[in-house]
Amino acid sequence: KKVIHIVGARPNFMKVAPIHKAIAARTSLQQLVMHTGQHYDAKMSDVFFADLGMAAPDIHLGIGSGSHAEQTAKMMVEMEKIFLKEKPDLVSVVGDVNSTIAAALVTSKMGIPLSHVEAGLRSFERLMPEEINRVVTDRLSDMLLTPSRDADANLLKEGIDPKRIHLVGNVMIDSLLASKEKADQLPTLKQLGLTPRAYVVATLHRPSNVDNPKLLAGLLSTLIHVARKVPVVFPVHPRTRKMISEQGHGPELEKTPALKLVDPMGYLEFLSLTSQAQLVMTDSGGLQEETTALGVPCLTLREETERPVTVEVGTNEVVGTDPARIREAADRVLSGDVKKGRVPELWDGRTGERIADLYARVLGVEQKRAFG
Ligand code: UD1
């Protein structure tokens, strides 16, 4: 029996690595990794395979960037050919990027069983491209593997058969726990001249934030405000880099050397940075979860989150995009008034194993090792 895993964009790689590893160790399933090429820069893709100890993808579609319709459609055309040739018994998709929805559409139309890892997350913001990808992928999936109970509740409310929902935990945290020791040994802080717990890490890449000139200007002004107090490291996504340059923010940012704009980082290098930060300010989804697992305070620069467990249980606070409110929240954390958090249930580093065992059971293949 054969499983094909789909990856495409940066946040997919750390989710597929632990599933792939656990399937190889625990089952006799055949597996292939298909990379759509949605992210193609070495810093957005290749470095993650090296950092996560993953072999190069078995199949690479080389699709690249484009409008949503163009990118998704090109992926679908190529995937259909590969699925016809490879005849997978299961296609496993992760997350909520365009590669995820492209694979979900092709797989379900071909009558191939589809599993969605990280099912059930909802921001209830239909203008967010990822929300459309989540809703459609979940609707089409035969197996919905959820990271937390709030996701189960969302799916049940949408009328999904409870038999198809499996609470497996957060697979991205498997990668984090497996990599932390290696990351801790990197000289990242020394290279950047930083002291543990005395700097802030910032990331921004959501189109709703960075493609809106007024919002982008306001968010950058909050980073400048924070950098007047403590150093801020800001690895810049290609989309954001483009907007900063188009909007002419370069000179203004250069006047604040404590705000360090750097290229996107590899997985281990970035983990070494976030795990020792005093505060993380971000509009990323995955980083809200990673900071919760690490117990590092996080301010989410968006109006809503599809990951409410990071707020209810973890260290995350959703502070919106109003600069005054962000400054106030950052000042509070930097003065030592931090939100304490716990790690949510099943974010234990064993989600990949639970998924491998579930796939083996569903596909009726022999398990080399039982869970436990
Ligand atoms: C995608 C995901 C988003 C995820 C993010 C993580 C969708 C709809 N969005 O957004 O959920 O949080 O990845 O990074 O799937 N570009 C490069 N090099 C690359 C890739 C992209 O320069 O390797 C530039 C191109 O100008 C491209 C733009 O970034 O047009 C956007 O890339 P795209 O894949 O469309 O979406 P992301 O913003 O990266």
Structure tokens at 310: 């990071």
Rounded distance between C-alpha atoms, residue 181 and residue 238, angstroms: 29
| Sequence-separated (6 or more) residues with CB below 8 Å from residue 272 | 183, 184, 186, 188, 189
Nearest CA, atom 30, ligand 1: 65
Rounded distance between C-alpha atoms, residue 83 and residue 6, angstroms: 12
pLDDT computed for residue 316 by the predictor: 98
What is the arithmetic mean of pLDDT over 48-53? 98
Ligand 1 atom at shortest distance from the alpha carbon of 66: 30
Give the Å distance between the CA of 239 and the centre of ligand 1.
Answer: 7
Ligand 1 atom at shortest distance from the alpha carbon of 96: 11
User: Ligand 1 pocket: which of 45, 97, 204, 287 to mutate (most atoms <8 Å of CB)?
Assistant: 97
Q: What percent of the chain has pLDDT over 70?
A: 99
Phi, psi of 317 (to 5 degrees): -130, 130
Residue 255 clears pLDDT 90, i.e. is over it: yes
- Cβ 39 under 6 angstroms from ligand 1: yes
User: Ligand 1 pocket: which of 36, 44, 48, 65 to mutate (most atoms <8 Å of CB)?
Assistant: 65
User: Domains of the chain (ranges plus CATH)?
Assistant: 2-169+347-363 (3.40.50.2000), 179-334 (3.40.50.2000)
pLDDT computed for residue 369 by the predictor: 61
Rounded distance between C-alpha atoms, residue 15 and residue 355, angstroms: 11
pLDDT digits (tens, 9 = 90+) for 139-183: 999 999 999 999 999 999 999 999 999 999 999 999 999 999 999
pLDDT digits (tens, 9 = 90+) for 122-149: 999 999 999 999 999 999 999 999 999 9
Q: How many CA atoms within 13 Å lie on the side-chain side of 61?
A: 30
Nearest CA, atom 11, ligand 1: 97
Structure tokens at 303: 């109006």
The secondary structure of the chain, three-state, reads CEEEEEECCHHHHHHHHHHHHHHHHHECCEEEEEECCCCCCHHHCHHHHHHCCCCCCCEECCCCCCCHHHHHHHHHHHHHHHHHHHCCCEEEEECCCHHHHHHHHHHHHCCCCEEEECCCCCCCCCCCHHHHHHHHHHHHCCEEEECCHHHHHHHHHCCCCHHHEEECCCHHHHHHHHHHHHHHCCCHHHHHCCCCCCCEEEECCCHHHHCCHHHHHHHHHHHHHHHCCCCEEEECCHHHHHHHHHCCCHHHHHCCCCEEEECCCCHHHHHHHHCCCCEEEECCCHHHHHHHHHCCCEEECCCCCCCCHHHHCCCEEECCCCHHHHHHHHHHHHCCCCCCCCCCCCCCCCHHHHHHHHHHHHHCCCECCCCC
Strands 298-300, 279-282: pairing is: parallel
What is the arithmetic mean of pLDDT over 84-88? 98
Q: What percent of the chain has pLDDT over 90?
A: 98
- Cβ 97 under 6 angstroms from ligand 1: yes
Neighbours of 54 (CB within 10 A): 18
Q: What is the pTM of this model?
A: 0.97
Ligand 1 atom at shortest distance from the alpha carbon of 239: 29
CB 125 within 8 A of CB 304: yes
pLDDT computed for residue 372 by the predictor: 41
Q: Using only C-alpha atoms, what is the Rg of the chain? A: 20
